[in-house]
Copies of this chain bind each other. A is one copy, B any other.
């Protein structure tokens, strides 16, 4: 109160505070989304963050803004992961590993997979966010694997990405559902039947 009141300093200080608040909000929202789903009461997030509700609305005018922000944060990490990963094994193996990282991510942050498909107004942006950030990564992995003859060439990264996300839905609600196995089934379906010999008869029109 005594030292920080210089007008010149206050601007700088404020900005730092604002940024810290935004981070608090993101963390809190992530936690609450996990607990209560993306429709959690705003007040809950406010309480979790220790901030006021008005502050949430200042930073994220619509709920979609907040959700997108929460997930962008984590999607960024995932997109970056592909580079950080040691290039271990064949391109197909690299693809497998990334897919499982993706699954880890979806499964850990529970409720996220479901959220990707919400038809609630304004959540296209969430979907878009995901697509824009992760599809290129997945596309590149797919292409590399296909080019090396490991995988079919008729699978679009977009479909594949959504499929992975979808297969993760319900993991918490139905503990007996073993999503990993289905992911592996999908990956198996993706692999070339005979390693670069048969010629890959496309069964699909």
Contact = CB atoms under 8 A, between A and B. Distances in A.
A163 B188 contact: no
A188 B127 CA distance: 27
A180 B205 CA distance: 11
A37 B181 CA distance: 29
Contacts of A173: 117, 119
Interface of A: 37, 114, 116-117, 119, 127, 154-156, 158-160, 162-163, 166-170, 172-174, 176-182, 184-190, 193-194, 203-204
Given A156-B178, A180-B204, 9 more contacts: A117-B173, A159-B178, A160-B182, A160-B185, A166-B170, A188-B203, A189-B190, A193-B193, A194-B194
